[in-house]
Chains A and B, each alone.
Chain A
C-alpha cells in the first residue's frame, strides 16, 4: 500500500507541472494512437492491480458484514456486529498494544544501531564489502528460515542455552520464547537482527548522496569528526531516515510471518507477541470465522492507512515537496 500513496501524492502535489497556476493542465490533442498506447501499456498493470488489490479489499469489506463460516456464499448479514466485537475483544487490544510496542522499539533500536553502522561503513576501510554483506545477509534470508532457525536455537534445550551453560553462564539460560516477560524482547532482538541490514543500506545510500564538499568545508572551518556528523551528515540524511522510519512503522504494524512461525497461532497471545495480523489469522482461518476475520483485516487496513496518511501529511510532506519541486 505504501507505494500507492506515494505515487498518488506525487501526482497530486504537482506531477512535474510548473507551479504558477494551481489548476491541473488540460490534456489536449491526445490522438487515438496515443490513447491506444496508454491503454496497451498500462492496461495489464491496472487490470492486475484491480484484480489482486482493489477487488480483494472490497471483498474483505463485504464479507466483514457477515457471520460466515467460509462454506458457500455468505448469507447471515450482521451489519457492524463484527466490528463491535473486535473493539470489545481484549485479545485484539493486546495485539494492538504489541504492535505499538514493536513500532516504538523497532525505531528506538534499529535506527541508532543502523546509523552507527552506516557511519562506520561510510569510511574506506579493509573488509568493508564483507562487513556490508554480513550485515545485509539476514535481510535477504526468507522469514520462514529465520523464524525456524531462531525458534530452534531459542528453545529451552536449544543452542543458545547450551552455549550459555557451556561457558559457565547457566544462570542466564531462560525460556526465551515462552516467558511472557521476555518473549517480546526476544522478538525485538530477532527483528533488529533481521532488518538492520535494510536500514544500513538505505542510510549508506543516503550518505553517499551528501556532497563531500560539505564535510570538507566543515573540516576547513575546524569542525571535529563528531561535529561534522552531527551538524552536516545527520541533517542531510533526514529524508532518508524519515522514509526508513515510514517503512519500518508500516512493516511493524503488519508484522505476521516471524511471529506466526516462531510462536504459532496459539501461543503468541499467551507469550505476549501476538499482532493484529496473527489475531486476524487465528480468528479467521483457525477458528473458521471468515466473516469476522475479514472485518479484522479491514480494521488492520484502516489503521495502517490512517497512520500512513498522517505520516505522509506531517512528516514526509517536506521531503516529497523538496524532492519533487526541487531541481528548478
Chain B
C-alpha cells in the first residue's frame, strides 16, 4: 500500500527532525576563536525595577569582564519552570538561570543538567552568605546553586486593623493568636487564605509541624518519605482545632493566593482581611494589589506563634531561598557571575529592586522597612531554619501533602488522610 509507505517515510522524517533539533542549539556557551564567551541568562523579572536591576548588574559585570557577553532573557514567572525544563531536556539550556531548589533541583542534578560549582564559590561569598543559606543550594554536599535572597514565612498583617480591633501587640503564642482572631472577627475577616492554590493552606500545616516535630523528625521524613512519627498527627490535630474556630475568609477554598483583589493577598491589600500567613515575597505581592499599587503603609510582620506541647523549637522558622544555577555545559565564567551577584553592592541593589531580604549579611544593614527588619530579627534569632516542606519533600510528596491539607480544611478528609496521601504519593514518584 502506497499510503502506508508514505506514512512510514513521514514518521521517519518527523522523528529525524525532532532528533535533529534535540542535538542542535548547543552552539553557544563556551569560548569562540577570539577567546570571547557568550552566556544566556534567564530570570523572571519582566518589568519595573527588577528588570532594571538585572540589566544594570549584567552591564556592570560585562564592563569588568570585557571578554564576556551575557544575553538576558526575561521569562514570565509562571512560564519559567516549563520553558526551563524543555530547554534543559532539549540540550539548549540557558547557562545561568533562576533556581527554585528542592526536589526539582535534585531531579536536575540527577539528570546531570547542573554544573557542580562547589569549588568555584569564593571565600568572600562563603563569608557573606553563611553556611546555612548556602546549604539550600546543595545536593549531597555539592553546590549546584547560590541563594540571592532569603524568604522566611510568617504572618503579614495590617497594623491599623489590629489597632482598631484592640489587638495591641502581635500574638506570640497560639492562645494569643486565638484571642486576636476573636477580637478581629468583629471587624471582618481575621485571616485571608488562598486555598485554591493549595500551598498557602498547606503552609499552616507546615508551621504546625515545625512546632510539633523535632528537626530530626523533619529530616527523617524527607529521607524515607514516611510520616509515621506521631508529631505529624499532632500537627494535623492542632491545625484542625485552629481551623474549627473559623478564622479564614468565607469561601477560602476557591480563593487564589496572588491573583487580583479577591485573592488572599488582595484581601490584605484592601483591608478586607487582617493578616495572611505567607513567605517574605508577600510585601511585594500585596503592594501590587493595593488600590494605588504602592506598598501597604501599615504592613507588619510577626513570626508564627509558639504552640505549646510540641517538640519543635518555638522560635524555629521556615522559609525558602531564591537562587541561581549554572547549567552543566556553562563556561567557567558562569560561576564568576554567581559570585559577583553576591557582592555587597549588587545585593543592596537586589534588596531595593525586589523589596526582599538580601542573603548577604554585608548587605542586610541597608534594610530600612519595619517589617523586613522584623523578619530579619526572627531569622537571626531562630535556632534553625527549615525549608518549605513541599520543597524539601519534592514535588510529588509535597503535592500530596498540599492536597491532603486542603481536604482536611474542607472537612472532606481527616488527619490520617494527609498521612495516607503522602504514602500513596510515594508510590507514584
A residues contacting B by CB (< 8 A) are 35, 38-39, 42-43, 46-47, 50-51, 54-55, 67, 69-73, 82, 85, 89, 151-152, 155-157, 175, 177-178, 180, 262-267, 269-271, 282-283, 286-289, 292
Q: A72-B112, A85-B427 are in contact. Are A288 and B103 (CB under 8 A)?
A: yes
**Contact residues of B: prevailing secondary structure:** helix
Q: Which residue of A lies closest to B14 (CB)?
A: A51
Q: What residues on A are CB-neighbors of B412 within 8 Å?
A: 180, 270
Please tell me if B218 contacts chain A, counting CB pairs below 8 Å.
no
Contact indicator B197/A264 (Cβ below 8 Å) = yes
A and B contact pairs by CB, cutoff 8 A, 24 listed: A43-B6, A46-B7, A51-B10, A54-B11, A55-B15, A55-B18, A69-B429, A70-B107, A72-B88, A72-B111, A89-B424, A151-B254, A175-B254, A177-B251, A180-B410, A263-B196, A264-B198, A266-B195, A282-B399, A286-B395, A287-B400, A287-B428, A287-B429, A289-B396
- The residue that A178 contacts in the complex, of B85, B400, B410, with Cβ under 8 A, is B410
Contact indicator A46/B6 (Cβ below 8 Å) = yes
- The residue that B428 contacts in the complex, of A50, A71, A269, A289, with Cβ under 8 A, is A289
> Considering the chains assembled together, what is the distance between the CA atoms of A89 and B113 in angstroms?
33
Q: What residues on B are CB-neighbors of A71 within 8 Å?
A: 85, 88-89, 104, 107-108, 110-111, 113
Please tell me if B47 contacts chain A, counting CB pairs below 8 Å.
no
Contact indicator A50/B10 (Cβ below 8 Å) = yes
Please tell me if B387 contacts chain A, counting CB pairs below 8 Å.
no
Q: What residues on A are CB-neighbors of B151 within 8 Å?
A: none
Q: What residues on B are CB-neighbors of A42 within 8 Å?
A: 6
Q: What residues on B are CB-neighbors of A269 within 8 Å?
A: 403, 407
> Considering the chains assembled together, what is the distance between the CA atoms of A82 and B396 in angstroms?
14
Contact indicator B253/A271 (Cβ below 8 Å) = yes
- The residue that A270 contacts in the complex, of B2, B197, B410, with Cβ under 8 A, is B410
Contact indicator A47/B10 (Cβ below 8 Å) = yes
> Considering the chains assembled together, what is the distance between the CA atoms of A55 and B14 in angstroms?
8
**Contact residues of A: prevailing secondary structure:** helix
Q: What residues on B are CB-neighbors of A288 within 8 Å?
A: 103-104, 107, 394-396, 399, 429
Q: What residues on B are CB-neighbors of A267 within 8 Å?
A: 195-196, 198, 253-254, 406, 410
> Considering the chains assembled together, what is the distance between the CA atoms of A292 and B429 in angstroms?
8
Q: Identify the interface centre among A42, A180, A262, A267: most chain B CB within 10 Å of its CB.
A: A267
Q: A177-B251, A283-B428 are in contact. Are A155 and B396 (CB under 8 A)?
A: no
Please tell me if B186 contacts chain A, counting CB pairs below 8 Å.
no
Q: Which residue of B lies closest to A86 (CB)?
A: B428
Please tell me if B250 contacts chain A, counting CB pairs below 8 Å.
yes
Please tell me if B256 contacts chain A, counting CB pairs below 8 Å.
yes
Q: What residues on A are CB-neighbors of B10 within 8 Å?
A: 43, 46-47, 50-51
- B254-298 vs A, CB cutoff 8 Å, 1 = contact: the mask equals 111000001000000000000000000000000000000000000
> Considering the chains assembled together, what is the distance between the CA atoms of A180 and B256 in angstroms?
18
Q: How many residues of B contact A (CB 8 A)?
A: 48
- B384-417 vs A, CB cutoff 8 Å, 1 = contact: the mask equals 0000000000111001101100110010100000
- The residue that A72 contacts in the complex, of B13, B113, B255, with Cβ under 8 A, is B113
Question: What 7 A-B pairs have minimum CB-CB distances, sorted nearest first?
Answer: A72-B111, A156-B251, A288-B395, A266-B198, A178-B253, A51-B14, A287-B399
> Considering the chains assembled together, what is the distance between the CA atoms of A175 and B104 in angstroms?
36
Please tell me if B222 contacts chain A, counting CB pairs below 8 Å.
no
Q: What residues on A are CB-neighbors of B394 within 8 Å?
A: 288
Q: What residues on A are CB-neighbors of B110 within 8 Å?
A: 69, 71-72
Q: Identify the interface centre among B256, B395, B425: most chain A CB within 10 Å of its CB.
A: B395
Please tell me if B241 contacts chain A, counting CB pairs below 8 Å.
no
Q: Which residue of B lies closest to A295 (CB)?
A: B428
Which residues 62-76 of B sit at the A interface, judged by CB distance below 8 A? Answer: none
> Considering the chains assembled together, what is the distance between the CA atoms of A159 and B161 in angstroms?
26
Q: What residues on B are CB-neighbors of A270 within 8 Å?
A: 253, 403, 406-407, 410, 412
Contact indicator A50/B429 (Cβ below 8 Å) = no
Please tell me if B132 contacts chain A, counting CB pairs below 8 Å.
no
Q: How far is the CB of B194 from chain A (nearest CB, A)?
A: 10
Q: A178-B254, A271-B253, A287-B395 are in contact. Are A155 and B2 (CB under 8 A)?
A: no
Q: Which residue of B lies closest to A283 (CB)?
A: B428
Contact indicator A156/B250 (Cβ below 8 Å) = yes
Q: How far is the CB of B232 from chain A (nearest CB, A)?
A: 19
Q: How far is the CB of A295 from chain B (nearest CB, A)?
A: 10
> Considering the chains assembled together, what is the distance between the CA atoms of A94 and B220 in angstroms?
32
Q: How far is the CB of B122 from chain A (nearest CB, A)?
A: 29
Please tell me if B123 contacts chain A, counting CB pairs below 8 Å.
no
> Considering the chains assembled together, what is the distance between the CA atoms of A1 and B39 in angstroms?
43
- The residue that B254 contacts in the complex, of A55, A82, A263, A289, with Cβ under 8 A, is A263
Please tell me if B119 contacts chain A, counting CB pairs below 8 Å.
no
Q: A264-B256, A267-B406, A270-B410 are in contact. Are A55 and B198 (CB under 8 A)?
A: no
Q: Identify the interface centre among A39, A46, A67, A282: most chain B CB within 10 Å of its CB.
A: A46
Q: What residues on A are CB-neighbors of B216 within 8 Å?
A: none
Q: What residues on A are CB-neighbors of B20 within 8 Å?
A: none
Q: Which residue of A lies closest to B112 (CB)?
A: A72
> Considering the chains assembled together, what is the distance between the CA atoms of A93 and B376 in angstroms?
47
Q: Which residue of A lies closest to B109 (CB)?
A: A71
Q: What residues on A are CB-neighbors of B13 within 8 Å?
A: 47
> Considering the chains assembled together, what is the distance between the CA atoms of A42 and B410 in angstroms?
54
Q: How far is the CB of B87 from chain A (nearest CB, A)?
A: 11
> Considering the chains assembled together, what is the distance between the CA atoms of A71 and B394 in angstroms?
14
Q: What residues on A are CB-neighbors of B256 within 8 Å?
A: 264
Q: What residues on A are CB-neighbors of B14 within 8 Å?
A: 47, 50-51, 55
Q: Identify the interface centre among A69, A71, A270: most chain B CB within 10 Å of its CB.
A: A71
Q: How far is the CB of B286 from chain A (nearest CB, A)?
A: 19
> Considering the chains assembled together, what is the distance between the CA atoms of A270 and B418 in angstroms?
13
> Considering the chains assembled together, what is the distance between the CA atoms of A267 and B188 in angstroms?
25
> Considering the chains assembled together, what is the distance between the CA atoms of A23 and B353 in angstroms?
75
